[in-house]
Structure 1
Amino acid sequence: MKKILNIAWKDLLITLSDPAALILTIATPFALTLVMIFAFGNVNNSGISGIPVAVVNLDEGEFGQKLVDVFESEDLADLI
């Protein structure tokens, strides 16, 4: 365990001593986050609606029918 900590400490010191590596370590996740925000940022505003979904109740039992009723209810549609 001590060897692993020594290697991690050495790598941390090397990264902190190199300004370019330090900037890339911080900037890369930030840049990727910005790309994801610009690519998928307006998902909530546009809304996803009107996608048909098939529900098959093969067991035809009471619980299965109640589950189908929940999926078909308007309350669930408002929640989503």
Structure 2
Amino acid sequence: MGVGEPAVDLIAAWSLLNAEARGVFRDAVEVDDAAWARGRGWALSVALIELAYYRITNPVMAATARHVIHEVITDRRSAR
């Protein structure tokens, strides 16, 4: 069970992969532009919530959230 949105599975692209690997991943999963944009939005949304929640109490989670936010913002190849 999940949220019912397949694009949620794409969060890993910004959470775990660098820009080059993200492009390979996108080509491999063959998602359309709209799904990719939704996945990017989900990644940003989750990271912003995590950063706000863990900023003081869990520095490791906060750093991970900052990393994802950075990847989403600097990802120039997301739009095709």
Does TM, scored on the shorter chain, surpass 0.5? Answer: no
Using structure 1 for the length normalisation, give the TM-score. 0.32
Q: Which one has a bigger Cα radius of gyration?
A: 1
Determine which structure has greater relative contact order: mean sequence separation of CA pairs < 8 Å that are 6+ residues apart, divided by chain length.
2
